[in-house]
Structure 1
Amino acid sequence: MIAAAAGSVRIKLILTALATTFLALVVTTVAMLVYDLKSFQQGWVDDLTTQAELIATISAPAISFNDPRTAQQNLGLLRVRPQILAGAIYAANGRLFAAYAQAPFDTPALPRQPGQLGYAIEGGQMVVTHPIVEGGERIGTVYLVASYRLLDRLQSYALILLGVMLGSLLLAALVAHLMQAGITRPLLAVTDVARAVMQRRDYSLRVQERATGEIGTLVDAFNDMLAEIARRSNALQDANLTLEHEMTVRQCAERALLLADRRKDEFLATLAHELRNPLAPIRTGLDIMRVNANDQAACEKARAIMERQLKQMVRLVDDLLDVSRINTGKLTIRREQLVLQDVVADALELSRPFIAAQGHKLDVRLPPQPLYLVGDATRLAQVLSNLLHNAAKYTARGGAIVLEAQATAAQLELRVSDNGIGIAPALLTEIFEMFIQADSSLERSTAGLGVGLSLARKLVELHGGSIRAESAGAGQGSTFIVTLPLLQMVSAPAPRSETRQADGRLYRVLLADDNVDFVNGIGGLLRSLGHQVQIFHDGQQALAGAEVFAPEYAFLDIGLPHLNGYDLARALKRLPALRHTVLVAVTGWGQQKDRQLAFEAGFHHHLVKPVSIDQLQEILAGGGS
């Protein structure tokens, strides 16, 4: 019967509980004992170190002034701590300066030298040695000896833990005796599943043990909790993935914004610099013409300088406008059959003066047979002239520039090469971005806003082609390669139109602009050519004067005071005497929508400031078409 009882589940559970409790208590007891002893020791060390530090602090002046009596009195303060048996203060040379013993008539056994700093446990006593420092210099040492009754504490603590252990074992035996199998088994199952979940992080695990009553409710609640945690864990994991992606996107966007902001600041600074550059010689030219009004050669030279600088300013502004139109999708290109050789000729006509002024040698290598393309001749010539202009600008004076074309069955490859400053490998792809320049140093001798190559790339892409840069590195020159599709089916080429020149006829011309200097200058030029000119500075005056003057041509600013150019044009068209008057808008607004508004208001032409006398003469030569 006894053997049967010993083998029963209840007895095994009791024995298991007792054994587990006993082992746990032993381990806990040992751990707590070790921890307490270490804490006890550390507490003594901290306490004695604090006392030594206090004695060192208040005794530093006594050592500095060689006052053993004061040092002795400071050590006497330790009498309130009976655990401290003896103490001493040593001078910097190791000589005993002052001593102390807990018993008034005892002579403490102190070492001749203080020994190493720190603490030590010797024969049931704890010794602490602490430096006395003043002004960053060690001037002495505090030496304390205290009783360290570790064995007494160990005995007391062991008795307490033994009592706790016996009581715990008795209580564990009682609890295990009262436990039922229906309680123990489900709880063990829950414990096992919980442990497995924590180790494997697998929230799909469930407790398979069934029970009734509160324990059954606990098991069901535990399984439901695991299911909820699994759902939330999956949702959290999905949310974390989404958040990581959003953070990555946001960080990329932030870096892009910071880069764009930095480039914007650099561009504005460069824009101000590049616009001031041509203004300076223009101002100087005006001064030359004012001071040397009778010197024809000096005035002619100044005029040539001013014309070149004005063209540079117009080129900068036109490039910016073209880039803006492309970015907003408002720039369109004409698609017609072209001959490559004609496009190259137009580009060279634009670029040769600057290349020659830099003293470069230009080598043009084109196939002898005509090569046909489809596109906008003006824009393609603009691309090539930009590349040639860049090559001349970033090449030292007297350099070599090569423009060559190679054709395959379906593609044309145009290469513009130079032996200039070259391009760093890291910039070969970035060089086509807005406001990026190969040489951005303050010492550079070249000018520009960093928009020419970006504009060239976008114009080439509008033609279905591509552009790339090649360079062996800084100082090794660079090559830009433009690839364009060739036209397979070729029709008879249309003759190139020539710009009509003025036919010698004189007209009545009305000018309306609130920019007094500009309109008076244009008026003076037209009068010098023999035309009859009337000038007005606001819309109401122009409307009143036009009815009397009956001009054949009216050049109107859009931003006129009192009556804007659009309303003025509509009012002029309603006058019977001006039914055949040619209306020309002259404005600083050059977007496609601005042109459309002008034509809807009744204008026949749209000119963007600054305008030249050649543009005016071309319109006058049209005879009202």
Structure 2
Amino acid sequence: AGARLIGQPVEDIVDHDDTTLFDADSAARIAAQDREVIITGEPRTYENFSVATAAGHVRSYLSTKAPYRDATGRIVGVIGITRDVTERQRAEEERERLLAVAEEANRSKDQFLAVLSHELRTPLNAVIGWVGMLRSMSLDPAMSARALDAIDRNGRALAQLVSDLLDVSRIVSGKLRLDTRAINLVPVIEAALDAVRPTADAKSIQIQSVLDPRASPVLGDPDRLQQVVWNLVANAIKFTPASGQVRVSLRGVAARAEIVVADTGVGIDAQLMPYIFERFRQGDSSSTRAHGGLGLGLALVKHLTELHGGTVEADSLGEGKGATFIVRLPLMVSRVRSAPERGELAGTCVGPNARLAGLRVVVVDDDPDSLDMLSTLLRQQKAEVRMATSAAEALALVEDWLPHLVVADVEMPDEDGYSLVRRLRRLSPDRGGTTPTVAVTAYGRVEDRIRSVSAGFDLHLPKPVEPAELIAVVANLARRR
């Protein structure tokens, strides 16, 4: 039994003391315990963890020792029972490790929910506050314009927040899909810079760009790559003090396109650098933090870049010395035609001021506010609009009124939009069976779009819908009818 405990043959442990069976530190510890039992004359139980044997094994033991007495009662040695508890100790250590991980995850969850609550409530407070003033007070034109700007700005911030959360959810579940094609990176980067320029102007931050058109094409999803650049530049603007600079460059290096975003901002602490691309990781998540956000942007950058077969890295000389992010994407070997640049997309020639005079449109939504907003938007463009709050009501309107177009929500009680459009398609053409239909829905995943088109919708627009986009879609579909 003793041989099994120590992990050595019997002949190697018989007539040997602890100094030959264990390493010096372990042997000294065991000898000290034996002396304590002899001196006190009382039994003792000892937990000896990480005991190193002479054979090189590291074990854990639980020993119960008692004084050994001769016939006269004099203590002449120590007798004991020792059990190998190595596996039990390892299991306990693993349990403690997992408990610590769970507690840290729980703290991170609570911290994230607190930050999320703040990031949701802050723009909501502005929206609700300004709406209340517009409704109950007589604001002058300048103040009303200021209110509308604030509502629009905070509404878009909320939409971006929800979009980032959904993207992270898709990435974690492996359901994020790319619509890849050969693309020229220059217009993709320019579109991202145009989107963030107003924010930079508000802080008097100068954006400098040097874009080499020869660093193309790459095989990628232009919308997702624009999202990568937007996140990096928006992040740079956020952490750069007023009157600073953000430099964006595109260059070709060794069969790869490099997108470099550098700023003169607060820099990155060396302790944070290894975790900079982790989800929900922020340098400061306290209530006194100077910068908002959920800590999702850089995680999205990393995942989207890797989905394109690329890499991203961060560098900073330290706090107060700015930061540099480099995205590397593989260049395509053959230069096939790039994806259409902005303004070249077919079927989008109708601008935001398109007039819909004379068009009959049925709008279907069970939410009164969404129904009212969509109907008002189309009526402002001179369309004739009739509203329905259910699939049955919408079908009756189609057969009775024969509209040019149906704009419908998907999620509705009793009968959803998918059922509505399937029933509509079963009608004969003279009863409205070929009426163009647009799904306007909060479901924005690729599989949701596929489901909408498979059910019979002509187009799928995820909420929040841009007014100009909806007007252009309605005008184009009606023209093709």
1:585 aligns with 439
Say if 1:474 and 1:528 are closer, same or farther in 2 by CA, change over 3 A: same
2:37 aligns with none
Q: Give the Cα–Cα distance (whole angstroms) in 2 for the partners of residues 372 and 194 of structure 1.
A: 72
Say if 1:241 and 1:613 are closer, same or farther in 2 by CA, change over 3 A: same
Asked if the contact 1:423/1:471 (under 8 Å) is kept, the reply is: yes
2:421 aligns with 569
Asked if the contact 1:359/1:398 (under 8 Å) is kept, the reply is: yes
Asked if the contact 1:282/1:305 (under 8 Å) is kept, the reply is: yes
Q: Give the Cα–Cα distance (whole angstroms) in 2 for the partners of residues 407 and 302 of structure 1.
A: 45
| The 10-residue stretch of structure 1 (448-457 or 611-620) with the greater mean CA deviation from structure 2 | 611-620
Alignment partner for residue 522 of structure 1, among 374, 390, 394?
A: 374
Asked if the contact 1:372/1:487 (under 8 Å) is kept, the reply is: yes
Q: Give the Cα–Cα distance (whole angstroms) in 2 for the partners of residues 592 and 371 of structure 1.
A: 26
Asked if the contact 1:292/1:299 (under 8 Å) is kept, the reply is: no
Asked if the contact 1:288/1:299 (under 8 Å) is kept, the reply is: no
Asked if the contact 1:540/1:562 (under 8 Å) is kept, the reply is: no
Q: Does 1:618 align with 2:463?
A: no
Alpha-carbon offset, residue 471 of structure 1: 1.6
Asked if the contact 1:587/1:607 (under 8 Å) is kept, the reply is: yes
TM-score, normalization: structure 1?
0.59
Say if 1:550 and 1:412 are closer, same or farther in 2 by CA, change over 3 A: same
Alignment partner for residue 237 of structure 2, among 387, 392, 402?
A: 392
2:293 aligns with 448
1:376 aligns with 221
For residues 266-302 of structure 1, what are the alpha-carbon distances to aligned partners after superposition, in whole Å with 9 as ceiling and x for unaligned?
1111111111111122223323433566733332222
Question: How is 1:197-212 mapped onto 2 (pairs within 5 angstroms)?
Answer: none
Q: Does 1:473 align with 2:318?
A: yes
Question: How is 1:222-261 mapped onto 2 (pairs within 5 angstroms)?
Answer: 250-261=95-106
Q: Give the Cα–Cα distance (whole angstroms) in 1 for the partners of residues 435 and 388 of structure 2.
A: 17
Runs of 5+ in structure 1 lacking a partner? 1-190, 203-232
For residues 93-146 of structure 1, what are the alpha-carbon distances to aligned partners after superposition, in whole Å with 9 as ceiling and x for unaligned?
xxxxxxxxxxxxxxxxxxxxxxxxxxxxxxxxxxxxxxxxxxxxxxxxxxxxxx
1:366 aligns with 211
Say if 1:556 and 1:195 are closer, same or farther in 2 by CA, change over 3 A: same
Look up the equivalent residue of 1:451 and give its one-letter code: L
Alpha-carbon offset, residue 396 of structure 1: 1.7
Alignment partner for residue 598 of structure 1, among 441, 452, 459?
A: 452
Q: Does 1:331 align with 2:176?
A: yes
Alpha-carbon offset, residue 462 of structure 1: 0.5
Question: How is 1:300-379 mapped onto 2 (pairs within 5 angstroms)?
Answer: 300-367=145-212, 369=214, 371-379=216-224
Q: Give the Cα–Cα distance (whole angstroms) in 2 for the partners of residues 557 and 619 of structure 1.
A: 15
1:220 aligns with none
1:533 aligns with 385
Runs of 5+ in structure 2 lacking a partner? 1-9, 23-56, 62-83
Say if 1:341 and 1:594 are closer, same or farther in 2 by CA, change over 3 A: closer
Alpha-carbon offset, residue 194 of structure 1: 8.6
1:423 aligns with 268
Q: Give the Cα–Cα distance (whole angstroms) in 2 for the partners of residues 492 and 592 of structure 1.
A: 25
Aligned to 1:342, the other structure's residue is in SS state helix
Q: Give the Cα–Cα distance (whole angstroms) in 2 for the partners of residues 508 and 602 of structure 1.
A: 20
Alpha-carbon offset, residue 386 of structure 1: 0.5
Look up the equivalent residue of 2:371 and give its one-letter code: V
Say if 1:488 and 1:600 are closer, same or farther in 2 by CA, change over 3 A: closer
Question: How is 1:31-430 mapped onto 2 (pairs within 5 angstroms)?
Answer: 195-196=14-15, 250-291=95-136, 295-367=140-212, 369=214, 371-430=216-275
For residues 579-610 of structure 1, what are the alpha-carbon distances to aligned partners after superposition, in whole Å with 9 as ceiling and x for unaligned?
21122222222233433332332222222222
1:44 aligns with none
Q: Give the Cα–Cα distance (whole angstroms) in 2 for the partners of residues 241 and 364 of structure 1.
A: 61
Aligned to 2:131, the other structure's residue is in SS state helix
For residues 324-346 of structure 1, what are the alpha-carbon distances to aligned partners after superposition, in whole Å with 9 as ceiling and x for unaligned?
11211111112222222112111
Q: Does 1:544 align with 2:396?
A: yes
Say if 1:359 and 1:567 are closer, same or farther in 2 by CA, change over 3 A: same
For residues 397-421 of structure 1, what are the alpha-carbon distances to aligned partners after superposition, in whole Å with 9 as ceiling and x for unaligned?
2221111233222122222112222
Q: Give the Cα–Cα distance (whole angstroms) in 2 for the partners of residues 501 and 249 of structure 1.
A: 63
Look up the equivalent residue of 1:348 and give its one-letter code: L
1:178 aligns with none
TM-score, normalization: structure 2?
0.76
Q: In terms of Rg, which structure is larger? A: 1
Aligned to 1:406, the other structure's residue is in SS state strand
Alpha-carbon offset, residue 250 of structure 1: 5.0
Look up the equivalent residue of 1:587 and give its one-letter code: T
Using the aligned pairs only, state the percent identity.
35
Q: Give the Cα–Cα distance (whole angstroms) in 2 for the partners of residues 423 and 452 of structure 1.
A: 15
Alpha-carbon offset, residue 510 of structure 1: 1.2
Higher relative contact order (CA 8 A, sep 6+): 2
Larger helix share, 1 or 2: 1
Asked if the contact 1:512/1:536 (under 8 Å) is kept, the reply is: yes
Asked if the contact 2:205/2:242 (under 8 Å) is kept, the reply is: yes
Aligned to 1:432, the other structure's residue is in SS state coil
Asked if the contact 2:184/2:339 (under 8 Å) is kept, the reply is: no
Give the length in aligned residue pairs.
404
Alpha-carbon offset, residue 613 of structure 1: 1.3
Asked if the contact 2:220/2:308 (under 8 Å) is kept, the reply is: yes
